[in-house]
Each structure stands twice: as structure tokens, then as C-alpha cells.
Amino acid sequence: MFRIRRKDPSLLPAFRQLGRLASIRGDLGEALAFDAFASRLAAIHAGPWPSCEELATLAAGADHTRERLVELCTAVADQGADQTIAAELARLPADLVSLARTPGFDFSHLHRLARDLDATTFADFAGLCASGPPDEADLVQRLRTTLPGLRRHRRRVPLGRAVEVADTLHAALEHPAAHILACQPVGSLRRYDATVGDITLLVAVPDPNAWLGRVLDQLAAADIRHRGRRSATVLVQGEEVTLRAVPPEELGCALVWYTGSRAHVEQLGRRARARDLLLTPTALLDPRGYPQLCSTEAAVYDALGLPCIPHELRHGDDEIARAERGDLPALVARTHICGDLHLHSLWSDGRDPIERMLRSARRLGYEYAAITDHSQSAAASRVLTVDRLERQRDEVAALRERFPGFGILHGAEVDILPNGRLDFPDEVLARLDIVLASLHDDAGQDRARLTARYVAAIRHPLVNVITHPTNRLVGRRSGYDVDFDQLFDAAARTGTALEIDGAPGHLDMDDVLARRAVAAGVTIVINSDCHMAERLGRQMEFGVGTARRAGVMPAAVLNTRPLNEVRAFIARKRAARGA
């Protein structure tokens, strides 16, 4: 039963507002019910205020929304109208909520964005700023003024978390009756940015509106943040995900538009206008408004006189000019990777035994893998003492017998100590097939001292790889302040590889540093730094994606080479020790 104060004056305006919020959210049934309830309240305001029982009867006339009406009436009575409306506002997509809290935007603006323009995310708003409809010039100008501040304060999701959430939804959508022709993450997730603004899946289906309706009908109402004509925002594992449904003939333009980056799409838009075309999310339009439909991204770029630009390179820098010159790099791909040189096991902080890690590597088609557990000073749950390292060597020797034809390198990830020395003595390191060196603690040292520690390790003749060179933690900790020009010069001179670490917490080096390293002549190695067998492939994909963002080609990557060449790379530096 409702707990309503007699003649509560806040109930009527509250339900007017709640009806508008339901409409913005796309729940038209709830919006109509709330409006009807408010109209009935308005009619009785002129006469005696009904009893609680009579109010319950009013709610009962609202069919399936009665429970919601009861819930909200109670909330208004207990918490007040403002708090109830604020709680309902928070059920909208986060970017709409941010706009609602910005001066100059009210519910009417949100309604035009969400209902009329199907725009609920930052990417949608940025697209409207680039090519919004002329009759919404005032709204577009408000967005242009607001978006820079909104961008600065937006929450971004680490790439690993975003992929996990997107994969969960993708798996839920995939069933024989779904009639899905394509399903592709877009935006910064597809471009392998370390953090993601919008988690968005683009789905090609024959009937987008009907398909989206069927999907949403299977979800709990509380998990639906917005229901539009061809898009919806839903909650998956507590994260917002936008679903966009398009017919297959529009897939090419939609992929280009929603993959971004916005700067890249704006440059393509200018190129289209120079050809009397208008680039939109659905088609290329000629001056008469007739659509040139493109089912593939390659068709879009071809219409603009360009080869298809890899999505990882769409930064809005010089990639279009390079494409026009025929100067795009032939990027490294997952299929180029011959092995993984940074794996952990139960001997340190890994979750699986060595054998399971090796089986996973072999299933991925690798020719070799290196077991590189943490040395004795690492702050891991378990570490390798010299004695344990020797016992691990025996296990590796036995596994070589069980994995004929598969190269198993026995190595270690050795800490670089605050004094620049390594965590194992040289006589121990010399018995390893490969030595990885890393900083896991800055020891409160400044830029010069950190740089000196790295350079000392790079110059050590038994160190082959520097792992995760900045030791950043994505979304939690920035990387070390180091003079990378010195590191790159030392690595190039000594034949020491620098790592792109595919662990989603690291993604280190990032694309900016990796591009600089390759330009300086440094050999790159792309590793998974994996601690669980089931994640080995995915983390390598993250590493390769980061390398592709940097424009890295296969020749610059150590582990695109066969095992004999990897061993030769290691041997050359060791030979210099005795020179």
C-alpha cells in the first residue's frame, strides 16, 4: 500500500517528470502509464484527495507497470520528489546523465537526443557535432560547447575489462535463431586503445528494429538503460554496453563511422565532400541525397580513393596522407607470431603448471615458448630462489622429452635491483636460455637513477629482453619517468629487445613508445606475460593490437622469427661478453 501524505503536492509534477524520463529511456509503455497516472492525479486534485486504497486503484489501472508506480509513489513519499527523480535519471546512459547535469541542458534536450536522434553516447554527440541535422543547430552548438569538458571527466574502462564485457554480451547474442550476419566491437575498443570510452557492439542483421526488440525482450527491465530505434544501451556485468543494429548493406559505413577515431572520420568526411559526397553512418550520400551503400569498409575507402586503412591506425594523424601515397605499413599480425617469450607458471605467481602453459602455446600454433618465472626479490606470491630455479630446470628438461618438435626455453624474469645489479648472479643467468629483466619497484628513485638502472641492465651481456619498460598499470598507475631516448639508444646498440607486454594491466610499451623504439632501431618483442593458460591467446592479441597501433611491422619483432633466429639473437649478445 502507498505511504502517501495527504494531498502531497509533489506527486503530480514528479510523475510528469518521471514520465518524461521513461520516454527518454525508450520505455514507451512505462511513459504512457506514468502520464496516465499523472492525469488521473490532476483530475482529483480539484476534489477530495483519495485514500491510500483509492490511490492503489489508480495504480492498478496501469497494467504491468503497477509495481513500478507503487515503488515510485513510495519513494516520493519516503525520500522526496527530487531524490526520486535523481535516482531515475541515473538509470539513463551515463553520457546522457552527464549532459543532464550540465548547465544549458534539460529533459527536452535529452528527449531530442535520445528519441529523435537516437544519440545516447559521447561518440553519438561527437558525430552530431561533425554533421548534425540543420534543424538541430541550437542543440549541436550546445554539444560543441559542452563536449570538451565532458570528455575530460568521462570514466574510461581498461581495455581488458571492456573486452571481457563485450565478449560476454557477444556470446549471449550468438545462437542459431539470432540471424546475426556480423558482430563487431567498434570505437576505441576495436582500435586497441588502452582504455575505452564506449563499449559498443555493431551487429548486422536483416531486420535491425525487430532483432533489437527481441533481444531487449529477453533482458530484465533494470538492465536496459535506453531503447532506441536501432540502438540500445544495456548493463552487462555492471558496465554499460551499446548495441547498434544495422542492415548488412550499411555495415561498411557504420563500421568506419563508429570505429573512429573522430579525427579520422572527420578527415574522411572532408575527403568525401571534396568528391561531392556526404559520409554518414548509413551511406555515402550524393548531392541529391541518393545513398551509395557500402557493405564493407573497403568499399567506403575505395569510394574515397583510398586503400582500406587498418582500424588500429585510425588516429587522425597522418594515416590518410600515407594511404594516399601508398605508404601504409604492412602491420604485424597475430599470424606472424611464432612463439611467446614471457610466461609464468605455478613456480612463481602463475595459476597453471608449466605443462598446461606449454599445451596452450602449442594449441595456438606456436613453435616455441619461454618459461620465465619471477626471481627471488620479486614481490610475487612465489618466487624462484637459485635452488628452485635448478629444480625447475629439471622439470623443463623432462617436458622437452614430452613435447618433441616444440621449442621450450628455460628463462627467468629477473628484477633489476635499486643499485642496478640483477637479482641472480651471472653464473646462474648464464645457464638460462633467455633472461628477461624488469623493474617492479621504483624504490623512490628519480628519473636519472631509474634510467641508470635500466641502462645498466640493458648493457648486461646476459640480458636479452627488458619487460614492460614503464611498469604502468592501466587506469591505476602511470609509468615510470625514464629517459627513453637513452634506453632506446642502449637497446639498439647492445641488441637488447624491448617488450610490448600484452597483459591488459600493462599494455607496455604503449603505441607511442613502441613507435619511437622502432624508429630508433630497437628490436621489439610482443609477449603475453601470461599467468593463466586460458588467457594466453587473448593477451597476445592485446600485445599485437598495441603493436599495430604503433605501426610495427613483422621484421621489427623478435618473436615473428623462427626459434633458430631467436637463439642466434640471444647468442650474438652473449658472444660480445667474451669479446
Q: Side chain identity at 15, as an amino acid letter?
A: F
pLDDT at 73: 80
> What is the pLDDT, as a whole number, of residue 276?
97
pLDDT, residue 164, reads 97
pLDDT of residue 176: 60
DSSP class of 480: P
**What's the rounded Cα separation, in Å, for the pair 553 and 311?**
15
Look at residues 26, 50, 18, 462 and name the one whose alpha carbon lies nearest to residue 243.
26
Instruction: Give the chain's radius of gyration (CA, Å).
Output: 29
Q: Which amino acid is at 339?
A: G
* pLDDT at residue 381 is higher than 70: no
What pLDDT score does 579 carry? 45
CATH superfamily of 157-325: Beta Polymerase, domain 2 (3.30.460.10)
Predicted confidence band of residue 569 (pLDDT cuts 50, 70, 90): very high
pLDDT in tens, 17-74: 998 998 989 888 888 888 888 887 777 756 666 665 566 566 555 456 677 877 888 8
pLDDT band at 578 (very low <50, low <70, confident <90, very high): low
Distances (CA, A) of 324 to 263, 266, 319: 17, 16, 9
Query: Of 305, 327, 325, 308, nearest to 551 (Cα)?
Result: 327
Percent with pLDDT over 90 in the chain: 71
**Is 320's pLDDT higher than 70?**
yes
pTM of the model: 0.91
The continuous run of DSSP H or E covering 73 comes out as: helix 66-79
Residue 511 buriedness (CB in 10 A; 0-12 / 13-18 / 19+) = buried
C-alpha cell at 495: 641488441
Q: Give per-residue pLDDT as tens, 490-522.
A: 999 999 999 999 999 999 999 999 999 999 999
- For residue 57, what are the CA distances in angstroms to 3, 16, 67, 173? 14, 19, 12, 40
pLDDT band at 131 (very low <50, low <70, confident <90, very high): confident
Residue 249 is predicted with a pLDDT of: 98
Over residues 281-309, the mean pLDDT reads: 97
* Continuous H helices in 403-437: 426-429
Q: Which numeric CATH code is attached to 334-577?
A: 3.20.20.140
Mean pLDDT throughout 126-134?
A: 82
Amino acid present at 384: L
Nearest in space to 500 (alpha carbons), one of 488, 487, 486, 514: 514
Tell me, what's the pLDDT at 177? 61
Q: What is the pLDDT of residues 459-478, one digit of tens each?
A: 999 999 999 999 999 989 99
**pLDDT of amino acid 1:** 46
Between 13 and 329, name the one with better pLDDT.
329
232 has pLDDT over 80: yes
**Could you tell me if 539 and 529 are in contact, meaning their C-beta atoms sit under 8 angstroms apart?**
yes
Q: Residue 334 pLDDT more than 50?
A: yes
